[in-house]
Amino acid sequence: MRNFLLRLVINAVAIAITAEVLPGISVRDNGVSTLLLVAFLFGLANAILKPVLTVLTCPFIILSLGLFLLVINGAMLLITDELSGGRFEVDGWGTAILGGIIMGLIGMVLEGVLGVKEDKHKDRDGENHRPFVIQG
């Protein structure tokens, strides 16, 4: 739950900074509740739609050596624009792709500073349960 809330705040800060830096992206009132709602919608789109799009466009991702992932990140911003009901505006594909790059960089820096780590081998008690590996 802690990681979820931290990621929500990180996404909200990244959206706010990106909207300030990039003229084609705007948040309607820059209020905390609006930013958190847009960040939640962005996280929802990333959690549900991004894996599906990544699998469906796998040949393009391979052929472009991963650069097509930038287009998918831009699509997530455009989908968030549609879901937000006018609270979040993105002008077009170019702006969305550039905004995705900026948000990704800001998110990476904030996750490093705040120490948000994704360890899939920890249980609820925080104990590590890594799979057994034979080293030879």
Residues 41-87: tens digit of each pLDDT = 999 999 999 999 999 999 999 999 999 999 999 999 999 999 998 89
3-state DSSP assignment of residue 117: coil
- Residue 38 CA to residue 16 CA, distance in Å, equals 10
* Residue 117: predicted pLDDT: 72
For residue 66, give every residue at least 6 positions away whose Cβ sits within 8 Å of its Cβ, in sequence order, or none. Answer: none
Torsion of CA 129, 10, 99, 26, to 10 degrees: 150
Instruction: Read off the pTM.
Output: 0.80
**CA separation for the pair 90, 66 (Å, rounded):** 23
Query: C-alpha angle with apex 100: 20 to 60, nearest 5 degrees?
Result: 160
